[in-house]
Structure 1
């Protein structure tokens, strides 16, 4: 598994709270994603977003709150592409910590918010290698190619999400020692955060979706 952090694959849980009123009167819907990035949690996330589009098509804003330590690059990229082509307007909000592959999901929206004390982690992708004490040349070559392929996802997404020069982006993704832990101001300075917290559209949620892997950070 290619990952931007090593996480166990947990079974995601999703709860839905439906508000009063008709679908036509829906102003906003909210999704709270409090999970690592894996196939199950992302499937639950996409199911929640699909349910909103199907049952509340008049929703003006879907607020996606993220709190995630990251995980699978592949699952994160699936969510990124899904959100980019989603029919309703989505705002992504870093509710506490949006790390590693979760930043791809965060970057899928043009309108990106964060809580004042939220943080982000930017660093290279990583590859897990099963070896019996020794690494052979072909394994090392394959691991390098795998990581380069996954780093390409970061690189292409970050080009449109971060105000970094090509050289700065290459440095960031070349070594774990160049990782960046960003607070609110630093994230805003490089274009990761695009909107002030007080500008987040807030209405009456006709539905609230809670996605969690049931585990701890």
Structure 2
């Protein structure tokens, strides 16, 4: 029988894997009875990590697990690893912290059952379901940031929430593995803190400092704002100029596309696309030598390639393979480009 029980204990910390269907039947995966017994057997605990990936199951078994965890003196950390649906969401509400994977899902709905019988029995069952719904709502209301009416509406239409939506509505307290967007304010705040002699050695202080917005900086320190703004403008101008300079020796349609992309589509510095340009130029078919006396002087790179060839031939060295020559040429050109 695949009970979901305490699978790991280190010191005064334990972990419960709540993976599968919740219930106390022989066919279920997560047993409220087994979890209660295991917790009792482990004795005193300071912290319990509960990991959930469950479609739900028995309302009664789920409520029993919720109550067992709420009653336990240890700190309960819930981690929603994948799906947390139906009664599993009530189990999650037992957490002091409720963490959800950025790719997880949380689904709530009204309790339901399969039943048969006469009209009286069906009405009785309906009343029981209504009472179970109230119990479930009570568990949710200890955490959520929506009104009871809004919650009922969500349950009535069966609502699935992403991690961001679950956080916004208060079903969880934290999102795990969420991509961190590039924080352009952080280097700005370093300058701001240095200017005002503010130390941010502590992690919490740094996080608070990152919340500074450009608008706030503009209002509180206009001189520093203008200094940063002008510096940014100048750096961008220099970047574009460096890319423009590359067009003097990087010719051809492919090379132009690479430079345009580095300017506007995927901004890059000139030296970061040098190798890409060299390869593109190598692949461009060579044109016949110019015979016009007024023709434009050969580029620096063309001269470098010709000089390298002449030195090889004059020294009587064995001819390198095509691959070796290509590697040597590219290395010389990249070194030259990095010095631009």
Instruction: Confirm or deny a common fold (TM above 0.5).
Output: yes
Structure 2 unaligned runs (5+)?
26-30, 178-340
User: What's the Cα RMSD here?
Assistant: 2.2
Kindly indicate which of the two structures has a greater share of residues assigned to helix.
Answer: 2
Matched, 1:181 2:171: no
Distance 1:127 1:13, change over 3 A: closer
Q: Give the equivalent residue in structure 2 for 1:39.
A: 24
Q: Would you say the 8 A contact 1:124–1:172 is kept in 2?
A: no
For residues 96-142 of structure 1, the C-alpha deviation after alignment (integer angstroms, 9 at most, x for no partner) is 111100111100112111111111110000022024xxxx3213311
Q: What SS does the aligned partner of 2:124 have?
A: helix
Q: What SS does the aligned partner of 1:39 have?
A: coil
Q: Report how far residue 30 of structure 1 moved.
A: 1.5
Distance 1:60 1:67, change over 3 A: same
Structure 1 residue corresponding to 2:15, chosen from 24, 30, 42? 30
Q: Report how far residue 16 of structure 1 moved.
A: 6.3
Q: What SS does the aligned partner of 2:174 have?
A: coil
Kindly indicate which of the two structures has a greater share of residues assigned to strand.
Answer: 1
d(CA) in 2 for partners of 1:16, 1:111? 19
- Figure out how many residues of one structure are paired with residues of the other and give that number: 172
Matched, 1:147 2:132: no
Q: Give the equivalent residue in structure 1 for 2:41.
A: 51
Q: Give the equivalent residue in structure 1 for 2:74.
A: 88
Q: What SS does the aligned partner of 1:144 have?
A: helix
Distance 1:147 1:116, change over 3 A: same
Matched, 1:99 2:85: yes
d(CA) in 1 for partners of 2:161, 2:40? 31
* TM-score, normalisation: structure 2: 0.47
Q: Would you say the 8 A contact 2:104–2:162 is kept in 1?
A: yes
Distance 1:61 1:170, change over 3 A: same
Structure exhibiting the larger radius of gyration computed from Cα positions: 2
Q: Give the equivalent residue in structure 2 for 1:71.
A: 57
Q: Report how far residue 15 of structure 1 moved.
A: 7.0
Q: Where has structure 1 moved over 6 Å in runs of 4 or more?
A: none
Q: Give the equivalent residue in structure 2 for 1:160.
A: 142
Aligned pairs for 1:127-138 (under 5 A) are 127-131=113-117, 136-138=118-120
* TM-score, normalisation: structure 1: 0.71
Aligned pairs for 1:108-127 (under 5 A) are 108-127=94-113
d(CA) in 1 for partners of 2:8, 2:96? 27
Distance 1:140 1:192, change over 3 A: same
The structure, 1 or 2, with the larger RCO (C-alpha pairs under 8 Å, 6+ apart) is 1
d(CA) in 2 for partners of 1:17, 1:159? 30
d(CA) in 1 for partners of 2:174, 2:8? 28
d(CA) in 1 for partners of 2:24, 2:159? 26
Q: What SS does the aligned partner of 1:108 have?
A: coil
d(CA) in 2 for partners of 1:82, 1:117? 28
d(CA) in 2 for partners of 1:122, 1:154? 10
Structure 1 unaligned runs (5+)?
1-10, 199-217
